[in-house]
Amino acid sequence: MTVNTPLCFRGKKILAPMVRVGTLPMRLLALDYGADIVYCEELIDIKMLQCKRVINEVLETVDFVAPNERVVFRTCERERERVVFQMGSADAERALAVAKLVESDVAGIDINMGCPKEYSTKILTTLVKGICKPVTCKIRILPSVEDTVNLVKRIEKTGIAAIAVHGRKKEERPQHPVHCDVIKAISEAVSIPVIANGGSHDFIKEYADIETFEKATAASSVMIARAAMWNPSIFRKDGFCPLKDVMQDYIKYAVRYDNHYTNTKYCLCQMLREQLETTQGKKLHAAQSTQEICEVFEMGDFYEEMTSVFEGKKTSLETKTQDEDDQIEDPDVIKMAVRFDKREYPPQITPKMYLLEWCRKEKHPQPVYETVQRPLDRLFCSVVTVADRKYRSALWDKSKKLAEQAAAIVCLRTLGVPEGKLCEGENHLITKRKRGDQEHLISPCSLCFPSSQLPERVQTLSDAQ
Query: Which residue among the candidates 51, 76, 115, 241 is catalytic per the annotation?
Result: 115
The Cα–Cα gap between 321 and 455 comes to 44
What SS3 string covers 368-404? EEEEEECCCCCCEEEEEEECCEEEEECCCECCHHHHH
The Cα–Cα gap between 232 and 54 comes to 29
Distance of CA 73 to the CA centre of its chain: 3
For residue 61, how many other CB atoms are within 10 A of its CB?
20
Q: Are 293 and 287 in contact (CB under 8 A)?
A: yes
Q: How crowded is the C-beta side of 328, counted as CA atoms within 13 Å?
A: 5
| Cα angle, residue 64 at apex, residues 60 and 70 outer, rounded to 5° | 100
The Cα–Cα gap between 249 and 271 comes to 12
* Torsion angle in degrees (nearest 10) through CA of 136, 16, 115, 105: -40
Is 115 a catalytic site residue?
yes
The residues, any chain, with a CB within 8 Å of residue 18's CB and separated by 6 or more, are 41, 225, 229
User: What amino acid positions are annotated as catalytic residues?
Assistant: 115
